[in-house]
Structure 1
Amino acid sequence: MASPQHNRILRVGLLQGTRILEERHLLQPGDFTVGQDPKNSLVLPLPDLPASFPVFEYRANQYNLVFNDDMRGRVDLGSSDVDLHALRDQGQAMERGDQYIVPLQESARGVVELDKDLRLFFQFITPPPESEKPRLPPDLQGGSWRTMDRMFFAILAASLLLHFTGAAIIIGSEPPPEPELSLDELPDRFARVLMPPKAEEPQKPSVDSAQAAATEEKKPQPSESDDKPAADASSKPSTPEQAAAHRAEVARKVAGKGLLKILGSNGGAGGGAFADVLGSSTGGGDIAQALAGAGGVGVATEASVGASGPRGGGTGKVAGIGELGTSGGGKVDLGTKKEVAVSGRVTAATPEVESSEVDRDALVRYIKARLKAIQNCYEKELKRNPSLKGKVLVRFNILPSGRTGDIEIEENTLGNEAVGSCIRTVIRSWVFPFKPDDEVPVAYPFVFSPAG
């Protein structure tokens, strides 16, 4: 049984000719692999080697040398210097698939050829003290300046200098004056702040309370005349002679008042106006005689006149409105009032976008989905001028927030300012799905024509 190897460590080096390219000391026992895989102990871009090949493996407290048929080399096992193929042919190497394994003692050393120019040498050495670490030759030792990418450092230094200089200039310069914006150019989020709060309207009195107040004002105030009926009631005549005299006095007073004064209360010499109206049928008698037999006065309605027939002693016939008609050569048909529908057509040409951050096709799809609002602006003025047609070119900026700014009507062949103002208001409410790093100018043409 092989003795455990605790006193010495494995030293492996890579040789190119007689020059040592790299050297490893396996302070902790373990496998040593070579190949193209970055996880190997030693990465070698050799096409003949597999991705990972274990040249030295640590099993049962002992290192084993592993090689295949393509490898060449020699091993000194302490008693003799033997070629790898001789170890294979003499049966001193155990076969494992397409690989061969040779156990190594602490006195073993040797060389394994990986390529015609690259070789691995190995031996067991006494581990160095912890204070003494292996150092590379001075010509191979690198520093911070040697390991730094000088081109990258130069670009970084120039960039930092440029940025800090620009920041210092900006901080030291005075800010430019901010131009005053008109109400049309003001964004929507500031328009709400400028709107004054609506004052509360005083509560109007109800109709019932107003009528009650008016009735209260019109209500007559009590006076001394209210006491007269009581006095008259106490002075009521008690004999027939006094009653007749009282009636004659009242008739005399009434005859000289109001309408009776105009018509005349009796015939007399001229008969009066009432005699002129009634003629000789009354014989110039008294008004009371002329009105004798009158049953009273009522308001004529459709139910009282049309349903019950004519009143009085005559045989006249009441004609309804439905029995009236017109005569003539033509027939009049007024019909019903109709509103003529006016429609317009809006076509959008290819826009001009001055940045690659905004997708032109996506912008066209977004605006075509909202052409109905632009069409409404045109149709509103088309009702007033049916021959209105032309082209409107709108230029605006897409802000980093997605909203629109600096909206201008660059060309308007319609000759109608109301359409341009309406289009500017519609575009101001748009929020695009683009978020560019800087403002993106856009020129978008709209062509208007009547649909009919």
Structure 2
Amino acid sequence: MHPQSHSLRVVIVWRSTILEERTFSQMSSPVVRVGQGDKNDFSVLAPGLPDVFEMFERAPDGYTVRFSDRIAGVMQVDDHDWDIDELVAQDRAWPTGKARTDKGAAQIYEMKLATGDWGRLRLGDVHLFFQVIEGREAVAGRGWASVEMPLVAMVAFAALLHGAVLLTAFLTYEPSAELDGLKAIGGFAEVHVHDVPDPLDEDKLEPPSEETSGKKAGGEEGTFGEPDKVVDSKVPKDDGEMVDEVDPSEVGVNKLLSEARLGQGAIAKLMDTSDGISSKADVAFGGGDDELRVGRGTSGLSIRGVKSGGGGEGQGRIHGLGHIDTGGGPGSGGPSTGAHLDRKEAREVKAHLEKRTPQVGDFCDRGDIRKVVGAKASAIKYCFERQLQRQPDLHGKIIAQWKIGLDGKVMSASIASSTMNSRPVESCIEREISRLRFERPDGGICVINYPFVFTGVQ
């Protein structure tokens, strides 16, 4: 292998989606770092690795790869597939020290990679693929040694051919005989302009004579075509004739209650002068005597009386609303109940939302997260307010968690914890969070944990 003629290709994959792909050559930094911090070349959630971890380092004959015993993966070295545990057990990878990770203290191992070797490491939900490939790049400062000679020869040949064509055209040029006969005329040219009349000039158009106008119609001036046929309408006329004055006694209820109408039909029987409204209503509401009653029994419905009543047999009183009367008296035949509507108290509960300090990943702007969530606060509050109408005592703290992809869209949203234990509210919040759009993260995926405290205020 030619010294420094190799490169390293690294690909970050999340759920079968390529998030980032880079190739490191002799012109790049000799060390490639992977971890959760901002100082890494690949900033990813890497359980089992330190925050800043030098995973790859360029060597004269390949690359050195480092990993910990807290991660899993496979490698192909010398055309043979190995698990990480097998590489350690067979001393193909040797320990170099220990480091602190989020999973505790981890042993760090390293091994050499040559051209063609590749591997795949699993870092939580992210897979890291790498391969040492053959490739040479021009190095700055080498002058003509870094220039492709075939390209130089092609450019030189094109320039030479172009110059030869121009020289041949210049030497073989002969002026035309027709051009020799032309003579340049000095001075000014005289131009004659003739006034051509406009055929549409209205001032010069002659008005038509009277003999060519309406007189030629022979008494039918202004008549075009055959006269229209008059056809009687078949639509029935429902409206009456229009009159200047309307007698109020001849329309509506007045006409119904007039003497002519009361003398016949059911209304006449109810309103005739022999019995009258008093006797008919008394029979319907009161009973046998002249006093109106509300009750149950042989005498019908009566408000007060000594006969059978609606709430029992005996003397009782009518029930009331509010402060008029809040109870009914029992009769001799049975008890009755009263309506206590004046004791009912109206209670209104309003929803209150408090947004606590969120936990934001390394690649997203905290101010942008607060701004976008604040703009959507009314929709998140409505998720709680809608359920609060059914459960006035509903309250609690909900921590929503979501991931922001490299395009600024929410990749997934869920409820990390909840003391409210209301699935309608929680699913509504997940749905509203999934619709948010943020600024694109700078370097990797963001994981957001945002606490919301919901209370009902009377």
* TM-score, normalising length: structure 1: 0.31
Task: Tell me which protein shows more helix as a share of its residues.
Answer: 1
Max radius of gyration: which structure? 1
